[in-house]
Structure 1
Amino acid sequence: MTDHLASSYDLAIFDLDGVVFLIDKPIPGAAEAVERLRAEGTSIAYATNNASRRAADVATLLTGMGVSATPAEVLTSAGAAAALVAEHVEPGSPVLVVGAEALRGEVRDAGLTPVDSADDAPVAVVQGYGPEVGWKILSEAALAVRAGATWYATNTDRTLPSPRGPLPGNGSLIAVLRTALDREPDVVVGKPQPALFTTAASAAGAERPLAIGDRLDTDIQGAVGAGMDSLLVLTGVSGPKDLLAAPAERRPAFVAADLSGLFRPADRAAVPAAEVDGWTVTREGDRAVLDGSGDPVDALRLLCGVTWDGVAPADISAASADATEVLKSWGL
């Protein structure tokens, strides 16, 4: 067996936005990482909170980017939400859909009737991300929830990563209804809820799955809740400063700059690290000093050991020029 991080796991569960691609552009190295895992016998799954595409469409998108995928390997919050609603209402029930056509299709395929007006007496409102979501459908949703419809959210991601920077995500759209209704959704389906992870592991018959994501508040927290090891990659939303301040329920087992970290020795990606090449950290009470030079991710792994033990990220200082540059690049 090849001796690297991924070799200890029989299933790799990839998040998509910020891990494999940014909107419609593949992240360098993603296709190569997936193909290498497949060649080594590791099963692949893709679990995404983005409810704007169906599983078959996601697989087509990935394949077009050079990342191999089949619809059976893709789990979306849209499909999971529609299936969950169908478990709790009568077949054919009207469901008001706030989101993209993909979400309407999932609701329809679950044996329910998609509607877009509160006057249709929907028994549930299902809200997912859609680039065309606007005031009119949000107003209908508010009326339906006030009339007693159960409010399901596919996910609560505040932002979506993009090549131009973070964009408003479904959580930002949910905030509109949250403000109007002065309440939270009744059910949140996607990450950080563990269902997408556990469903992927069950479908693959995996005993040692590894979740790979770019967001601490969804991907990593969801993996922790599912009892799975996780790898945070720094190609999307969460950055070094976020990781240093992460509470226990959002701490990954590993961190890497990108998916190439899957093929590093596990002890060179594990977080926190007791010692690393090139860097040292000296703790002085409630403060810590970073010294040396080397891979910034190694410095991050080392520093997590003190920040997760009580040192505030703002109380880290530098004792070398390289350390100063690293901390500055992290916003510290």
Structure 2
Amino acid sequence: MTSAALCDTYDCALFDLDGVVYLGPEPVEGAPDGIGALRDRGVRVGFVTNNAARPPRVVSDQLTRIGIPSEATDIVTSAQAAAAMLRDSLDPGAKVLVVGTQALADEVSAVGLTPVPDRSAQPVAVVQGYDPDMTWPRVTDAVHAIQAGAEWYASNLDPTRPTDLGLEPGVGSQIAAIGCCFPERIPEVAGKPYPPLLRETIRRLGGEHPIFVGDRLDTDIEGARRVDMASMLVFTGAHGMYDLVDADPIQRPDHIGYDLRALLHPSRVVSRSGNQVSCAGATVSVDGGVLTLNAPLITRDEQLDALWAVLALVWQIRDAGGAGPDVAAVLQEFTLLH
């Protein structure tokens, strides 16, 4: 590891919410203290969510309630990004069928467009966002509107969402239901990994050199890469070490940490020598397709060091066109990670 804290390299820290800062109504362990410590160091903090169901004020109230004092202006949602995308694509006052919550409809209104409740109003666009109370008639109404010529937009495509009870279906399942009628089409998407949400976040919150912290490779990490933003994956939400091993280059984070407090500690740095990679006290090598790890694995940080070395070597081999070694036996030794 380097000696400086990772956060000192960046002028702004942006966080996904579900699985990073909270799980349902409860904070992720260490999140309130970690964000408080970042603010004490003068790091600007912002929160980014693909969830279009709730307005920023409700999100900021929840953050404040769990020990992370926040204002609505600290939060950027995919509903805001979707509304901005609609504003840039449609004529002022255009009618939009909102297949989501009132929060999404309010954002559509805020950019000068006209939300409508059903296809009888002849909307020129349909926009979908996560709604836990979505009904089948609303889904089929959106299908009919699109068949009649309305453009199709979505806040995000997340298939699942992490909660304190486990994973639950996300808006991607609702979008897939409509997509069954349009097998060769996908909507225009605002949320991660597509660029509009993070670009809107940068526009609203500022920052010349931000880092994005997330728990999903396919949304958070890929989304950051698509806008040339540094990223860190944490292990408090959806994805873990098995996902990392198989990650395509566009979904590989610049850093890993167990939780967001890793920003307050030095970055993990690897050194390479032929078919051997080291990180802190861990060394991993490969010979004849067999991976060998030499490392202390008592603490979680030691396991993260070893994992980072393993990932660096496996990715190096695969990027050079190799099949990569079997890492299953080694990963089983990381008992404090998932």
What is the TM-score normalised by the length of structure 2?
0.89
Contact 1:281 1:289 in 2 (8 A): yes
Q: Indicate whether 1:316 and 2:327 are aligned.
A: yes
CA drift at 1:327: 7.3
2:239 matched residue in structure 1 = 238
Q: State how far apart, in whole Å, the 2-side matches of 1:35 and 1:25 are.
A: 17
Q: Pick from 318, 326, 329: which aligns with 2:334?
A: 326
Residue type of the partner of 1:67? I
Shift in alpha-carbon separation, 1:254–1:62, aligned structure 2, 3 A: same
How many equivalent pairs are there? Answer: 325
Q: Flag structure 2 segments of 5+ consecutive residues without an equivalent.
A: none
Indicate the larger mover: 80-89 or 141-150. 80-89
- 1:16-31 matches, cutoff 5 A: 16-31=17-32
CA drift at 1:299: 2.0
Q: What's the Cα RMSD here?
A: 2.3
- SS of the equivalent of 1:266 reads coil
Shift in alpha-carbon separation, 1:291–1:60, aligned structure 2, 3 A: same
Indicate the larger mover: 281-290 or 183-192. 281-290
- SS of the equivalent of 1:222 reads helix
Shift in alpha-carbon separation, 1:317–1:213, aligned structure 2, 3 A: closer
2:219 matched residue in structure 1 = 218
Q: State how far apart, in whole Å, the 2-side matches of 1:231 and 1:136 are.
A: 40
Q: What CA deviation, in whole Å up to 9, does each residue of 1:33-64 have, x standing for no partner? A: 11111111111111110001111221111111
Contact 2:160 2:170 in 1 (8 A): yes
Q: Indicate whether 1:281 and 2:277 are aligned.
A: no
Residue type of the partner of 1:13? L
Residue type of the partner of 2:334? V
CA drift at 1:173: 1.2
Contact 1:107 1:113 in 2 (8 A): yes
CA drift at 1:324: 4.2
Q: Indicate whether 1:299 and 2:310 are aligned.
A: no
Residue type of the partner of 1:17? D
Contact 1:97 1:104 in 2 (8 A): yes
1:5 matched residue in structure 2 = 6
Q: Flag structure 1 segments of 5+ consecutive residues without an equivalent.
A: none
Residue type of the partner of 1:297? L
- SS of the equivalent of 1:274 reads strand
- 1:102-117 matches, cutoff 5 A: 102-117=103-118
Residue type of the partner of 1:316? V
Alignment identity in percent? Answer: 39
Q: What CA deviation, in whole Å up to 9, does each residue of 1:226-272 have, x standing for no partner? A: 1111110011111110011110001111001111211111136x799
Q: State how far apart, in whole Å, the 2-side matches of 1:121 and 1:284 are.
A: 65
Contact 1:276 1:302 in 2 (8 A): yes
Shift in alpha-carbon separation, 1:59–1:271, aligned structure 2, 3 A: farther
2:165 matched residue in structure 1 = 164
2:102 matched residue in structure 1 = 101
1:259 matched residue in structure 2 = 260
Shift in alpha-carbon separation, 1:271–1:236, aligned structure 2, 3 A: farther
- 1:19-168 matches, cutoff 5 A: 19-168=20-169
CA drift at 1:291: 4.1
Shift in alpha-carbon separation, 1:162–1:205, aligned structure 2, 3 A: closer
Contact 2:271 2:278 in 1 (8 A): no
What is the TM-score normalised by the length of structure 1?
0.91
CA drift at 1:313: 7.3
Contact 2:268 2:305 in 1 (8 A): no
Q: State how far apart, in whole Å, the 2-side matches of 1:84 and 1:329 are.
A: 38
Q: State how far apart, in whole Å, the 2-side matches of 1:306 and 1:31 are.
A: 34
Contact 2:295 2:306 in 1 (8 A): no
Contact 2:279 2:306 in 1 (8 A): yes
